[in-house]
Amino acid sequence: MAEEEPKIRIGDREELIYMLSEAAEIEHNVMCGYLYGIWSLKRDEADGLTAEQCGLIAQWRDHMTAVAVEEMTHLTLVGNLLCAIGAPAHLSRSNFPIPAADHPGTVDLELYGFSPELVEHAIYLERPEGVDLADAPEFEHLDNYHREAPKGRVMPNAQDYASIGHLYRGIYHGMERLTQKLGEEALFCGDVADQISPADAPLPGLSVVTNLATAHQAIETIVEQGEGAPDHSEDSHYQRFLNLRASFQAATENYPGFEPAFPVARNPVPAQPADPAGTIWVTDPEACLVLDFANSVYNQMLRFLAQAFGRDDTKGHNKRLFVTLAREMMSVLTPLCNHLASLPAGPEHPGVNAGMSFTMVRDITRLPAGSGEMRVMRERMDELAAQARKLFAPDHRLGSISDALSGMADRIDAPSDRATPQKAPPAPPAPQAGKPKKTNKAIVGHAEGKDMHLSFDTGRCIHARFCVLGAPKVFLSGVKGQWLFPDKMDTEALRAVCHNCPSGAVQYTPKGGTQAEPAPPVNIVKLRENGPYAFRAPMRVDGENVGFRATLCRCGASGNKPFCDGSHVKAGFSASGEPDTRPSEPLAVRDGPLDIRPQKNGPLQVSGNLEICSGTGRNIDRVTGARLCRCGGSKTKPFCDNTHLKIGFKSD
């Protein structure tokens, strides 16, 4: 029989801030615990796995990663709840193993490798409110330790809660009471611009908080995604871990002696602890350096996230840049920590491997906005890139990390290094007509005219027909032999026809006094109804200059990714070209180079100034960075919501 739930008392704003800060810490700590389990999983057949076992581990990794991503949603939502009531987002936390006083005695949060014990512990943490379950015995509870907030005091106190769902129910009830006491407008006094919105980060279920109703929505999202949901769904964290337990048990029966994870340390620490109980001090020289570097990357990721909260992007700051960089730092941290799990902890602990410790710096508070902020962030990224070059040779499996960090550093503008304001970087030149990118089995036609060299790449053509309708004597359809005749039309009129080609299949190189194609004055992408993204900007796609026009796949079915090949028609792809407009302010700079990098099995990562428009030209959003869906499944199109992880989207 479950014990009677303690009552959570929230009588003023300070107590509400205190309990929301604890909620932020528990979300942060739980997420770190899940990531530790994920990163402890073995990687491939080189780690002693069979092909079948590799496939099974990949499924487990995907399931746990989806949960960890939603934990990041929860942490961000709690940050938004704090900002909504006039407080800063809370990203600090104690180092592992988490001190018992940080949470109720029934909550033991430690770093533990992927194992039956970790799965049981996750089921316990994610159990629906009112479900009486025992934790894995490896995780200790303090049955005689209790926390309470006595009546009549004004200093906030830590309080007990029976489950995470109970904690959030208590927080919402406190918000209801304070709304009655202070008034809704007075309680939700924060600036919504201080929050991280769905337009800033493609986290599933993310929303902003402006009043009691939206606060309730945010809390319901956290609970329904799995932490104590009374009527849990198949996608809840609780159910996912139940399914994972069943899969793990079946694998153990099918593969006797199967060890899916490295024997990572329980609660690794990077320095000699004052109290060694329950920890493993990592002393192996290589592991020490990698652990130090991993912790530095983790803290810089938190720095980026901290810089994103509490700032208004409409005033020319860099919220979305910082959110994007935080996410990209995670893509660096993942292979780094997986490698760390394969290294020995040290001779004092034979048979035990190292692992990520998530050691925090003393202060992760947001730096003041301005030139100093950008200098500090750029300086640190340069230091990390330099350290990566020292640690990992180019042929190492992590040899590309230094380039990734350098690329991120280059996107951080340091105004204090400039004597005068910097304009938008110059646009890259249009591709040479005689050397277009040849895609798949594309036919590239060429013709030399008196005023231009004309080319046509059928691999990029989406049959918009501006060419054959606007210049029927120049572009012949369905003929054998030569089919391009640039001298059959006035040069300026032909240039205009070329510029209308949305896909960039038609290109030209000017001769004599003919002018080159001008860069667009405003970078835009239009959403074609049930079709592709139509970009107009000086673009590099996957590192290659593709000119000023391109249509990129957003249905997930193209055989010529990232370019559209018309497969959306056969696939019956349905996606509005007229999504709702999002609140945004004009960009300080509207042109300049646009970098588009298709993420492996994921979205299009776009960096640069860009106005996202409907098919009819209506503004949808203005961004300096975005992740655009290309699997066709996102519920927040055109933005990615990580559906590609659930549907198994595959693409380089």
Q: Is the domain defined by 268-417 classed in CATH 1.20.1260.10?
A: yes
The phi, psi pair for 272, rounded to 5°, reads -60, 120
CATH number of 13-254: 1.20.1260
316: left (phi over 0), alpha (psi -120 to 50) or beta: left
| Residues 523-549: tens digit of each pLDDT | 999 999 999 999 999 999 988 999 999
Q: Which pLDDT belongs to residue 313?
A: 61
- Asked if 283 and 268 touch (Cβ cutoff 8 Å), the reply is no
Numbered ranges of CATH 1.20.1260.10 in the chain? 268-417
| Residues 119-168: tens digit of each pLDDT | 999 999 999 887 889 999 999 998 888 999 888 889 999 999 988 999 99
Q: Which pLDDT belongs to residue 647?
A: 83
Nearest alpha-carbon partner for 563 in 503, 473, 621, 649: 503
- Asked if 354 and 345 touch (Cβ cutoff 8 Å), the reply is yes
Q: How far is CA 609 from CA 40, 109, 166, 321, in A?
A: 39, 42, 44, 11
- Asked if 607 and 625 touch (Cβ cutoff 8 Å), the reply is yes
Query: What fold does the segment set 524-647 form as a domain?
Result: Ribosomal Protein L9; domain 1 (3.40.5)
Q: Which pLDDT belongs to residue 635?
A: 84
Other C-beta atoms lying within 10 Å of the C-beta of residue 113: 22
Q: Which pLDDT belongs to residue 437?
A: 46
Query: What fold does the segment set 444-510 form as a domain?
Result: Alpha-Beta Plaits (3.30.70)
Residue stretches of the chain with pLDDT short of 70: 1-4, 227-232, 313-317, 414-443
Numbered ranges of CATH 3.40.5.90 in the chain? 524-647
